[in-house]
Amino acid sequence: MRLVAWQAADLLRHLDAAISVYGQAMGYPQDLLETRKGYVAAHAHRPDFRAVATLGEGDELLGFGYGYLSAPGQWWHDQVAGALRREQRRWWLTDCFELVELHVRPDAQGHGLGARQLAALLTGPRQRTVVLSTPEADETRSRAWRLYRRFFFSDVLRHFYFPGDDRPFAVLGRQLPLSDLPS
């Protein structure tokens, strides 16, 4: 397995494989995945776009992640900003790297791939904070939650509902740069 940095063109070239990994990891139905392709393709052109991928045998995609500069006018940013108090918005979203996706295929999980992807994505952004959203879950049982807590992400917003998804989400954040990476 190897971790590689992706440019926007790499993500677009491997969009079908990335959407498949995303769907497997999130448990989303195929019709929703087709819709997500357009969003992901548009995200690849956002300022400060950064992406990584974990490749296996024959360059099979095992996981990927990406993010970019979060800004007013972007759907996710505006949804979260509208739910935060002014001082929270100022702290978390003014100079923020938005970690949009971070996924590992379920059959490849449990081998540290997500941690390597996360560390690579968060080593280098120039922003002051990083913020992400993840479905609410039992923090002791969810691999994603344990990963984010190991990386010292704290609660920004809990039990938040995004339009179009009937599951509650948590918005988590941490300050950058990563000077306190877990060993």
**Structural domain harbouring 42:** 2-175
Q: How many domains does the chain have?
A: 1
Q: What is the largest CA-CA distance in the chain?
A: 49
Please state the pTM of the whole predicted model.
0.93
- Strand, helix or coil for residue 110: coil
Q: Which residues are catalytic?
A: 148
CB 127 within 8 A of CB 95: yes
Provide the angle, in degrees to the nearest 10, between the axes of the packed helices 113-122 and 143-150: 40
Phi and psi at 34, nearest 5°, equal -60, -40
What's the pLDDT tens digit per position in 119-146? 999 998 899 999 999 999 887 788 999 9
Q: What is the CATH number of the domain that holds 57?
A: 3.40.630.30
Structure confidence by residue, pLDDT tens digits, 34-88: 888 999 999 999 999 999 999 999 999 999 999 999 999 999 999 999 999 999 9
- Residue 97 covered by a domain: yes
Q: 180 lies in a domain?
A: no
